[in-house]
A and B are shown apart, each in its own frame.
Chain A
Amino acid sequence: EPEVTQTPSHQVTQMGQEVILRCVPISNHLYFYWYRQILGQKVEFLVSFYNNEISEKSEIFDDQFSVERPDGSNFTLKIRSTKLEDSAMYFCATTGVFQNEQFFGPGTRLTVL
Chain B
Amino acid sequence: GENVEQHPSTLSVQEGDSAVIKCTYSDSASNYFPWYKQELGKRPQLIIDIRSNVGEKKDQRIAVTLNKTAKHFSLHITETQPEDSAVYFCAASMRSSASKIIFGSGTRLSIRP
Contacts and interface: CB of A to CB of B under 8 A. Distances in A.
Contact of A42 (B49, B89, B99, B100): B89
Interface residues of A, number: 28
A43 B42 CA distance: 12
Nearest to B102: A45
Nearest to A49: B98
B43 A100 contact: no
Contacts, number: 59
Interface in B5-48: 32, 34, 36, 42-46
Contacts of B34: 100-101
B44 A100 contact: no
A42 B44 CA distance: 11
Contact of A56 (B97, B100, B103, B104): B100
The CB with the most chain B CB atoms within 10 A, among A30, A95, A99, is that of A95
B86 interface: no
B95 A100 contact: yes
Interface residues of B, number: 23
A41 B106 CA distance: 8
Interface stretch (A63-71, A72-80, A104-112): A104-112
Contacts of B97: 30-31, 50, 95-100
A100 B32 contact: yes
Interface of B: 32, 34, 36, 42-46, 49, 51, 89, 93, 95, 97-106
The 5 lowest CB-CB distance pairs between A and B, nearest first, are A45-B100, A104-B43, A43-B103, A42-B103, A100-B32
